[in-house]
Chain A
Amino acid sequence: MTDCATYRVPFASQLKQGGQTGRFDCTAWATSRAIARATCGKKVPSGRTIRLHSSEAIPDPDSPGLNLFQVAAVAENDYGVYFEIFTGAKALPFAGYEQRRIDGRPGVIQVGYGPIADTKLDAGRGFRDNHAIYEDNFETIESLADGRAPGVWKFDGRLYPRSVMKAAAAKLWTGSHYTGLGHVWCMFARDVIPDYRARVPAGSYLAYQISGAHVVMRRTRRTGGFSGACTPPRHFLWGSRTVTLVQMLSGAKAGQWISHNYAMEG
């Protein structure tokens, strides 16, 4: 049996090994590396497999990449690997990201590629947009770094300079703004699925009706306030939009789906 403490995740090239969706699949490939580490090498899926098992097996022409919630769902459902996701208001400070990484937790970090492209580690051949990269306590696996052409960095097992990764995390484009220095959108594997609780204050809130992976409708409801156990956050499609929700598990509102903004661990 492989010793996870010393297990080194193998490199994989999203372009050379990625099949017809390889150029869209850095998030899937980074997640595949994280699953490998989380299972000590027992399960080493390809990024292509992650893509095919995702809610978007065929890339959306308008937005062909994947987000962290989509790949985390595949990891949990197909490989039993739970990822804790830190995005939006729950993004980590860089120190918090580093603490989890140094602890040995396999992680996927979302970055803007520009700060990496500006170094000798550049493997994008002009690419400077949103990208996803696998990191752990040993190494950075950047799935473009395959040395496929002169001037393209080739993976050598190193951990990328922390100043470069911090700058790249700050350059993630959210659609309306850059995340900014000290904000890291990422996910980390976790051995134990944490308990979540939601607390909705008095006033109005939105309750969603779900069918499979899709929102069917939502209603505005009024409440005097409630709280209770809920599921971890899950991602749903609503037409061309997306929303992250939790389902109440206890109390009078058990069964209702509400925004994950009401939920926290513990």
Chain B
Amino acid sequence: MTLVVPQVGELIFLKAGLNNTAGQDQTLKLFANNVTPSETDTAATYTEAAGGGYASKSLAGASWTFTAATPSHADYAQQTWTFTGALTTNPTIYGYFVVQVTSGTLVWAEAFASFTPANNGDQILLTPKITAD
């Protein structure tokens, strides 16, 4: 599914772009509740994965690369989660969501094909990319 920037996330992009409020680094998290991202979502909509060796990832603003093209886009290095076994809360991962590191405000979210970690060494690979179309 296409990533969804909810209304709260749209405001973040607008305020940062127009120098109203400084942007922040982001935290990349996997969610383990079976939901489809919507425009009214907040960070509380999503149940973060827990257990099984899971930990959220930091996305530093300085580490994004930007490409002026048609359309322009921002790319980040591939992120890898290597699990040690099953999750301890909800067992299945349905997607990821990104929040601001300090405010905790939801910036965007995206569902992907669900995956249930079960074995030591199971991996999820994710390459963050945003296209401004």
Q: Do A and B bind each other?
A: no
Q: Which residues of B contact A (CB under 8 A)?
A: none
